[in-house]
Amino acid sequence: MKFLQKLGKSLMLPVACLPICGILMGLGYLMCPATMQGGDITGIVQQIGYYLVKAGGALIDNMAILFAIGIGVGMADENDGTAGLAALASWLMITNLLSTANVSVIMTLSENATLAFNKIQNPFIGIIAGIIGSMCYNKFKGTRLPDWLSFFSGKRCVAIVAGVVSIIVSVVLLFVWPLIFGALIALGEAIVSLDAVGAGIYAFFNRLLIPFGLHHALNNVFWFDTIGLGDLTHFWAGETSADVTWSLGMYMSGFFPCMMFGIPGAALAMVHTAKPAKKKVAIGLVTSAAIAAFVCGVTEPFEFAFMFLAPGLYVVYAVLYGIFVTITTIVGFRAGFSFSAGATDLLFSASLPAAAKTWMIIPLGIAAFIVFYVVFRFAITKFNLKTPGREDDDTDETTVQLANNDFTEVARIVLEGVGGKDNVTSIDNCITRLRLEIKDYTKVNEKKIKSAGVAGVIRPGKTSVQVIIGTKVQFVADEFKKLCK
């Protein structure tokens, strides 16, 4: 769980890039519908809209790379950029080695395997690359090589080691990835026969697989022509349910109330349950994410903000999608999307022949907002989940005043109190605490640490020491790192 929480914290940096992209794309689609529908782009307004869409898409389309670099830096000791470079090297190597063009040179690919390797540039691989980069940095940053290789000692060897690890990981994925992708396609084919319930099951797995980027496999089954279904392509081709063997739009419609109204409801619950001192931070993060979801259905900024901090809540979130997609299919609301289920796509799909009862987005949306809000608020408070604004740091710590503003002296005393630099294995800090990992807990002298004028000392584990300093912790942490070099 500690690993997942650190992973979730690391994702905050790249996730912060995404809300503005969603808003830009939503505005762009409103100004230039031709971007979505494939028509001619004429006039200054449409041209501006086109560029807004492309500006937002530049990051949305490369989200996996942002994740690789963000996780690489975020999970590395000292948040060193070297780990981000190693993560990028890992991403480039894995995605290049496992590209369809390169894999087809060494083996004959089936149709499903070809589909699988066509989708290798996904967030799951980005997360793997980020973890590889950070772990290689943490393990090999201090490596000393023989004199004739001394140029590559220390941090310079991190990217090299990450590259070697990436080759090994690529070999494993060469055989594992098509099996995973194929299993998901088989699952999709089985779901098709279950009508409205099947649509709900599909939506559940669609959300559940978002963290790994594997939802693309299911999407190919339901939205495109992988098995002759193509809910999305038939819908935008101007066909109706009379032209196909299923209720056209059933695998898209239910996402609209969830993304446009359910996510804002869940976001409001997170704001209301955030700690008072962190409420502004929570508002800034989830409000922009909720706007992106409502305008154009970009949900990743919201989802990645809590999926690793509270994985159980994310499963509940996926279940809510399944329920609402089933209900939406049954009541007959039909709309489609070419990008995602936001207000923009709803507006432009409402005039298509397969669209039906689009006015029902109001009652369905109100219901989704209320249900998501109530469920999220209950789960967060009942189980004390660490959603944005509810991290482990105590609220009162933000008002702590450090008794001594000589940060070098404070750091020196704390270092002496934890047994010296030889006893420290990791240095990190959050908003109010200096977080240390140590070798020998018997060398820790809490009385000595407190004599530095800090507010308190917490020992969450045998190898962990947290010193409560207050909002000036960054200055102390910087001096502490200097003393440990």
Tokens of 238: 């101007």
**DSSP bridge partners of 429:** 434
Supply the pTM of this predicted model: 0.62
Residue pLDDT tens, the chain, 485 long:
567 667 766 776 776 676 676 667 767 777 877 665 556 777 888 889 888 878 877 877 787 898 899 989 988 877 788 999 999 999 999 999 999 999 999 888 887 788 889 888 877 788 899 999 999 998 888 777 777 766 767 788 899 999 999 999 999 999 998 888 888 778 777 888 889 999 999 999 999 988 776 776 678 678 866 556 888 878 877 788 888 888 999 999 999 999 999 999 999 999 999 988 778 878 888 888 899 899 888 888 899 888 888 899 999 999 999 999 999 999 999 998 877 899 988 987 887 888 999 999 999 999 999 999 999 999 999 999 988 888 765 444 444 556 667 888 889 999 999 999 899 988 887 767 888 988 888 899 988 898 888 878 888 778 889 888 877 788 888 889 889 87
Distance CA 481, CA 471 (A): 17
Tokens of 418: 């934890």
Q: Is 419 left (phi over 0), alpha (psi -120 to 50) or beta?
A: left
Q: Which long-range contacts (CB under 8 A, 24 or more apart) does 175-181 make?
A: 177/98, 177/116, 177/117, 177/120, 178/110, 178/112, 178/113, 178/116, 178/117, 180/116, 180/214, 180/217, 181/112, 181/113, 181/115, 181/116, 181/119, 181/214, 181/217
From 92, 97, 98, select the one nearest 117 (Cα to Cα): 98
From 384, 389, 370, 381, select the one nearest 264 (Cα to Cα): 370
Distance CA 453, CA 400 (A): 11
> Exactly one of 157, 258, 430, 484 is catalytic; which is it?
430
The answer to whether 190 and 218 are in contact (CB under 8 A) is no
Active site residue 430: yes
